[in-house]
Amino acid sequence: MVSMKDISAACGVSVATVSKALNDHKDVGEDTKSRIRQAAKEMGYFPNSSARALKTNKSYNIGVLFVDEAPQSGLTHEYFASILDSFKVTVEAKGYDITFINCNKVRKGRLSYLEHSRFRGVDGVLIACVDFTDKEVTELIDSDIPVVTIDYPADDRLAVISDNEKGIEELLKFVYAKGHRRIAYIYGQSGSLVTKTRLNKFKETAKELGLKIPDRFLIKGKYRDIPLAAKSTDELLDMKNRPTCIFYPDDYSAIGGMNEIKARGLNIPDDISIVGFDGSDIVAKIEPKLTTIIQDTRMMGRIAADNLINLIEKPGKTPKDHVVIEGILERGGSVGQVSAT
């Protein structure tokens, strides 16, 4: 196995200089760094992670708590998958590896999320797409391990949050400006903070606009559930004095609504308008193009990574703020102009 001593002999420098070059210390010139790194690469040198951990008191390993239980959520959900991909690219570029710390909860004698994090020796944890009321999740958040949460503003923890309030407000005001007054909302799981935030803002904005949204126009659904979205759409279309526009919990669910609307021989947006949320890649494949909010998942993942590494490397100098990332209104073509009656 090639050692730093071998590299120092080949390059004619001290072992200390080799170590500094490989760890990108500023007191070694760029030319020397480049020469040493090239020699290390050619000689097949790989740093020993255990030795580095002992020396730096860091594992250079970041945990990701990401519970993928539902068939159409988790890593199959473009929103979270895009955030994680951006997060992964950013942390790896800074010399960190990723370990998923999810555990099979039905397995006897399993470690808790916190125990698993300690067992793996992770320097910090990204928490996304989980039940934040779960006691094990709360235990991890309340521990001394640096944590960043996605779409959940935990107390005294750094969070990266998509601006769901502004997104739903922009969508509703856009639809209202198109003349729509009978507007329905099929919302996501009631236990989700994202759902609560969007639904409350929807009602608040409707009140500001002078809109009266009947209870029958507010239907509990699920995220990324096409059959349920189709069923809920069926209920709304059967109503007397039915809505002229339907909001869906996400773009994927909107497909279920579109299928049901087209099955009835109705046209979007001439007969009825629809709205999604997320800005999924699927939007570009839908005709007409879906009106939605495009969430900046790449930025969310990058900011989450940068902030978590800062918490690990500069714990006393990194504020534990809630970083809110605004989305972009995609007007699309699924909302038509109607008479404001």
Q: How many CA atoms lie within 13 Å of 176's alpha carbon, on the beta-carbon side?
A: 16
Check residue 243 and give its pLDDT.
97
The CATH architecture that domain 164-295 belongs to is: 3-Layer(aba) Sandwich (3.40)
* Lookup: tokens for 285: 């494949």
Q: Which long-range contacts (CB under 8 A, 24 or more apart) does 228-233 make?
A: 228/253, 228/256, 229/186, 229/253, 229/254, 229/255, 229/256, 229/257, 230/256, 230/257, 230/259, 230/260, 231/256, 232/186, 232/257, 233/186, 233/257, 233/260, 233/261
Could you tell me the sign of the dihedral formed by the alpha carbons of 46, 51, 55, 58, in that order? positive
Three-state DSSP string of 112-179: CHHHHHHHHCCCEEEEECCCCCCHHHHHHHCCCCCEEEECCCCCCCEEEEECHHHHHHHHHHHHHHCC
Rg (CA), the chain: 25
4-47 and 164-295 agree in CATH topology: no
Considering only the top CATH level, what class is 61-162+297-325?
Answer: alpha beta
CATH number for the domain formed by residue range(s) 4-47: 1.10.260.40
The domain spans of the chain are 4-47, 61-162+297-325, 164-295
pTM for the predicted model, two decimal places: 0.79
Rounded to 5 degrees, φ, ψ at 322 are -100, 110
Q: Say how far apart CA 229 and CA 236 lie, in whole Å.
A: 11
Dist CA 254 CA 258 (whole Å): 6
Residue 81 pLDDT: 87
Q: Which residues of the chain are modeled with pLDDT < 50?
A: 54, 70-74
